[in-house]
Structures are given as structure tokens and as C-alpha cells.
Structure 1
Amino acid sequence: MFRSATTLTLIFLLLAVACSGPATTPLMDAGSSEENVPIDWSAHEDFDSEAYREPPVAASVEVEHDVPEMLLSSHNVPQYSRQERPGFRIQIVSTLSKQEADQAVEDALAWWRDFEEDPSLYDLYPRSEPEPPVYQDFRAPYYRVRIGNFISRANAERLLEVMKDDYASSFIAPDQVVVE
């Protein structure tokens, strides 16, 4: 034990001495300034860049596209019918469980199918769209289930009044909605 402690102390002492610098640093000779003058190599250079000059690239290259001209022109840009805008959705569930959120989506769609047909709601969701869209959104740590795409808050409030009987804790939430 004593021998290993002595050896360890000796190694540490040698390491400390080896890593330390000199006790004093030599001063530079302030009188000679010849070492600080940059050397001029221009008299010794004989490289001529003219020997390596390349001709310019021909600019008359024609590219042939496989894309129809109608798609390349900028004035025929199609207007897509689906856009996202700020709007409102009705949030019916907020839960930590993915299974509960999946079940809430199924329940919301079943609720809509079983709901008595109310002609006043046809302008919100016409017959061409059999049921309102139901979205499941995850924002840690909650799964949120929201229904609808409403631009106006008034339309969202109309559906919320109908849903309050079955979804008492539902409320209107601002969101990015899909508009067609």
C-alpha cells in the first residue's frame, strides 16, 4: 500500500513538473526590427495566369422541357379549392390518453349520424358533406378532439348549442380551418 502511494505521488509530481512552463520568459530584443518586416516575394514570382485562361461558356444552350407550356406559364396558375385560414372549431374532448381520444372521435361521428336531422344546420354542413370533419390533434401532453371548420364564430356557436346536450364541457376554440 505504501509503495503504490509513493509511486502515485511520484507520478503526479513528475506530471506537474512536465506540464509547468519555464520560470521566466526570455525578453525579445526590442532593438532589431528586421524580423517584423514582411518579405516581398514579387521579384521571385514568375506565374503567368494568362496561360491558363479558359474561353467563356457558350450562352446559347437551349433547354428542352417535358413539361407542357401551359404549366410553365405563370398566368395560368390554378386556384386550389382547399385553403387553411384562421377560424373556429368546437373542442369536445381534451385527454391524456390516445385511446380515449380515438373513442371520442368515433363517438362524435356516431353522434352526428344519430342526430335528428335539423334543416337549420344544412347551411353549416350541406348534404354533399355527410358529416362534419372531426380532428384529433396532439399537443403534448394532451390529445384534443375538435369538430368542424367554421370561418365565423356565429356558425360555430349554432352547432355548439346543439352539441351542449351531449358534450357539456365542449367549447369554441380558435384554430386553422380548412376552407373549400
Structure 2
Amino acid sequence: MTKLPLYLTISLLSFAFIFSACSTSRQAADGGPSDAEMADEGMTEEEARALQQLLDENRSALADLQQSDEVEIPSVFTQEASTGSAVSRNPYQGYRIQLVSTRDVQQADTISSQFQEWIEAEALAYNPKAYVFFKQPYYKVHIGDFHSKEKAAAFTQLIKQKYPDAWVVPDRIIPANVPDEDVTFTTGQDTTGTGDNSFN
């Protein structure tokens, strides 16, 4: 029997080890979550679906209550820097408008793209960006960057004509994308003529 050179033997053993390691990880990935992982999640998929349906049915109404200040907002999102204080407001703390929360990444991307096309066609003084991000287990589509809840709520009323389930959420924002203070948002029912950002 012929002896294999040392480098060839080491190469074959390395290849066999790597192949078996890949095979083991593939089996673990294909096996799905373990019972321990399922226990950590805290709810079954059926319970999660029921909760998501309940949220979907009530989100818009809850957002309208929040806008009218009938729902208490955590103080961390409403506190202002005291007068004369050396501590100023965090410029990255603010609000965005959530259009959708879904487990389907393609749906989130589609809604984001459709919103961008729609808002660009409206030719407003403020053209908000759409952001898609993942917060387990959902993909969320947020739009705009607002320092004040009032500005976000006013803009939400405009886009509810197209996206009725839109609602204001506290979020980390990009200060460079915040609309100017003099930009106002009005609906087609506003007859004062003060706002030039109206939908027809």
C-alpha cells in the first residue's frame, strides 16, 4: 500500500472536517427552532397572529386618541430641557409615522417604494424619506423625521387619505431631514389658505 504524502493527508483530513462541520450546521438550520427557543418566545404563532390582528384593528383609533392627548405618553418622550439648563434636547430624539408592521419584507419594501412615488407626485414643500427596518419579528416602514409630535400628527392627517392606518411613533430621527419650522401641513378642507402643503 502506497503512503500518501503528509501535506495530502492533512489536506484530506481538513476537507473532511470542514465538510462535516457544514453538514452539521445545515441540519441545525433546517431543523427549525428548538423547544427551548419556542419557550423563550413566550407565545405561540396563533397567539401572535391574534395579537397582530387586534393591533391592526385598533391602531388607527389609538393613534387618533394619542394625537388628542387622551392617551398618556411616557415622560421620556415629552420632557423638554428646563430653562437655563446646560442640558439641551437630544436632536436625534423625535417622531416618525409608521405605515406598516409586517413579517413580509417584500410587502414592507413595496409599501416604502409606493409611498416614495406617491409623495414625490404630490410635490410638497416637505418630502419625507421612507425607512424600512427590522425589529424582530417584524419589518416596519416609518416615514419622515419630526422633532415635535404635533408636526408628525399634522402630517399623519394628510397621509391618512392614502394610508388610513398610519400613526405617529416615537423614534430616533435624522435631524438633517426634519422639515423647516415654517412648513405647515393642511388638508384639502382647510380654507384659511395658510398652508401650501395640501392634498387635493
Shorter-normalised TM-score: what interval?
0.3 to 0.5
Structure with greater strand share of residues: 1
Larger radius of gyration: 1
Query: How high is the TM-score relative to the length of structure 2?
Result: 0.41
